[in-house]
Amino acid sequence: MSDPLIRIEGIAKRFTARDATISTVFEDVHLSVEQGEFVCLIGHSGCGKTTILNVLAGLEPASDGYVFVAGREIRGPSLDRAVIFQSHALMPWLTVLGNIAFAVTSRWPEWDPQRVRQHCQKYIDLVNLTGAEKKRPAELSGGMKQRVGIARALAIQPKMLLMDEPFSALDALTRGMLQEEALRICAETRQTVFMITHDVDEAILLADKIVLMTNGPGARIAEIVVNTLPRGRSHNTIHKEPHYYPIRNHLVDFLLSRSKQFNESVPAGYDPKHPPLVTPGLEREIPVAAQTVATPRPAEKAVVVNLRH
């Protein structure tokens, strides 16, 4: 079996306060992401989700541990890792084409203008912005700006795409449309994605695996939920899948109760180096060598959870 594309080995993040006390945001975090996987990370505010993403991006160092991408340790930012932020982060004086071309020429400075333009056009077409090439950000809707950000990130052909709640600032209709666009694009490109989200339903729609973080301080990965719903999911049909509500209820139950209780009472046999893989809705868990496998809880009545405080 080939090595995973991303390997996180025991990372931690600590801060020293003015009174010299040390605060541990998260610790002993271990995770592997395979080539082509879409992984979502969910947890309450303060558990260090965005900090983990920043460590993966090389934007800040971990206090302990190591992160490897394609066998190489991360020691700073790289064009092999593209980040899509909550805001579009476009340069307002450049057009759609110009924003994407800026990233492309940074990746391949030896390319001539025609090749850059043709390459950019491929990704403009991919995100359905054909015809908007000459528009500036002020002329675009919020959803179109995020499409430009996605096209810019994909155009440099990164090994890993990092997404920090990229759809959270959009209205519900635009958000749903872009979520399904993201599914289509990732299916076409086989892009490896690591995404932060507060939205349980977004995670179920997009992710192959959903990583659950305990509450901070001292947060850890409690378990990894394998999404057993078939690929090709959509908002119109996902709720009809037999595993949808068991998965959703399992996630909500964790966020409302078990995430708070985990650090106070760590489950017997828990090993942070091998977080358990769970498959809510299936009769048996996935057999994973050398991993403790948690038993999914029975499906409960679905409730709405809001993680923003």
**CA angle 75–165–34, rounded 5-degree value:** 55
pLDDT tens sequence across 31-79 = 999 999 999 999 998 899 999 999 999 999 999 999 999 889 998 999 9
Q: What does the DSSP assignment read for 201-223?
A: HHHHHH-SEEEEEPPSSSB-EEE
Question: Residue written as tokens 């048996």?
Answer: 284
Cis peptide bond prior to 296, omega within 30° of 0: no
**98: helix, coil or strand?**
helix
Regarding pTM above 0.95, the answer is: no
Quote the CA–CA distance of 205 and 199 in Å, as a whole number: 10
pLDDT tens sequence across 2-17 = 789 999 999 999 998 8
